[in-house]
Amino acid sequence: MARESESGFPIEPLYTSEDLAAGLEERLGTPGAYPFTRGVYPSMYTGRPWTMRQYAGFGTARESNERYRHLVAQGTGGLSVAFDLPTQMGYDSDDPVAHGEVGKVGVAIDSLEDMRILFDQIPLDQVSTSMTINAPASVLLLMYELVAEENGVPGSAITGTIQNDVLKEYIARGTYIYPPAHSLRLITNIFEYCRNEIPKWNTISISGYHMAEAGATPTQEIAFTLADGIEYVRAAVATGQDVDDFAPRLAFFFVSRTTILEEVAKFRAARRIWADVMKNEFGAKDPKSQMLRFHTQTAGVQLTAQQPEVNLVRVAVQGLAAVLGGTQSLHTNSFDEAIALPTVKAATLALRTQQVLAYETDVTATVDPFAGSYVVEAMTDEVEKGARALMAKVEELGGAVAAIEKGFQKTEIELSAYATAKGIDSGERIVVGLNKFKAASEERYEPLRVDPSIEADQRARLADLRARRDQQAVDAALEAMKKAAVGNDNVLYPMKDALKALATVGEVCNALREVWGVYTPQEFF
């Protein structure tokens, strides 16, 4: 009896050349050339390995800085910043809604002074930094640029990525602030600003990861992510920007599960669809505009608190799938993340997992090892077919934003999550250590804990900052930013002035809330 893939199509026990659709060579192409099925660069990892990022951030900026310096010393080539929930939602640590969440799931950043501490002694002209920040992405990006400039590194020299993908927040995650139309306006302002001021920066990381963590299948993950990408491109083009001016800096962010074959097929299908859309719908001529470059994170949702050491095996398998699928950068989760924030030992082991894949296996010796595999090529076609069908439904509803407002993507993902949960509860879907192969007893594991005094410390720092800064300069800069937000000027320029004058994250976001309002989700039944 054939098994079923995560996306719901049958996996046959045997594949032959008869399972491959006609025109395979055309669909494959060559590595580094349209339609990029086999990878976005001709040499891929035979020239150099992927960028090894480690996602970290907790407590205070100083604590996180210590972790970053440790990771850089251990050989990581890129940092990935986790911010706490108040920062992600555009609130200061002393805002009443921030109570109890300061520094918990990431680092608390309230002002430029916190950002200076966060990147103290980090060579910003040598390290690529990714920041998982969405609604306030412009604020944190400008703070990063200001810190670099203070250290003698111009904006033209810094590299990295801001997630900046607000549409998926409405679908699966919830850290939105402004209504969709204003969020899109801010994103296109970022595209324009970076083209002029920070040309090497990836302006958006269009994310399927969080949809997958919420329950999306591989097919849903790439379909809804690419549909969001189309919406962003349309929004930028509508402002008069040429597609080849901004599209080369678009990036994507996907999950990698333990189902290696389907994950490899998913990555290949995503590249092929995006290349086709950019070339044939938007008329992109620059090959870099047609490339789907992506970061991958191993699947946190698949990690278990039971027998946590088994997660080391899961992460290694997930990381291998990402590498075989041609990722440009990779974050491997720590084995203890189902319990709490990662310890130093766990984070180091996660990095070592990538280093073993890069330097002790032969998967980097040849480009696209699975090319021509009967099963992978057939599955790539299946995933592509399913994703295009879902993308067509999104278009029928009026595009990604209209579909979000109708609750389409969220409902589809919730149905998939429910089916997965039912499978685990019934035992039909085996999770080692959870519903099968359980341990007779569990060893007590001591997790990393965040000091509860952090919130009080951040409050005190904010009070001190507000007492000694030039309040008139802050007020004038915020008013200039609101004026730009009401009109058509790029809001990032006056926003940078406000942050340089030590306006806080919350003050900047509140100023835009006054002008644009906030998004209130609708209930759909």
> Which helix (H) or strand (E) covers residue 54, if one does?
strand 51-56
- How is residue 86 annotated by DSSP? H
Nearest to 348, CA basis, from 360, 337, 334, 367: 334
Q: Which residues contact 302 (CB under 8 A, 6 or more apart)?
A: 257, 258, 314, 318, 431
State the Cα angle at 123 between 120 and 127, rounded to 5°: 120
Q: Is 330 helix (H, G, I), strand (E, B) or coil?
A: strand
pLDDT reported for residue 80: 87
d(CA 182, CA 519): 10
Residue 525 confidence (pLDDT)? 41
Q: What is the DSSP string of 281-293?
A: IS---SHHHH---
Residue 121: both structure tokens together: 């002694």
DSSP string, 182-204: HHHHHHHHHHHHHHHH-TTEE-E
Determine the length of the chain: 525
Distance CA 432, CA 453 (A): 38
* CA-atom Rg of the chain in angstroms: 23
Cα–Cα distances (Å) from 48 to 42, 128, 133, 320, 366, in that order, read 12, 16, 28, 16, 12
135-149, pLDDT tens digit by residue? 999 999 999 999 999
Residues 6+ apart with CB under 8 A from 229: 206, 250, 252, 274, 277
pLDDT under 70: residue ranges of the chain:
1, 522-525
Cα 303 to the chain's mean position, in Å? 18
Strand 10-11, strand 3-4: pairing: antiparallel
Listed residue (253, 103, 260) closest to 168, CA to CA: 253
* CB-based contacts of 138, cutoff 8 Å, min separation 6: 164, 186, 189, 190, 193, 491, 492, 495
| Res 451: pLDDT | 82
Q: What does the pLDDT read at residue 523?
A: 57
- What pLDDT, on the 0 to 100 scale, is given for residue 209? 97
Residue given tokens 């520094």 in the structure block: 103
3-state secondary structure of 458: helix
Greatest Cα-to-Cα distance within the chain, rounded to the nearest angstrom: 74
- Residue-range domain boundaries for the chain: 34-426, 469-516
Question: For tokens 């591989």, what's the residue?
Answer: 218
Count the Cβ atoms, other than its own, within 10 Å of residue 427: 10
CATH number of 34-426: 3.20.20.240
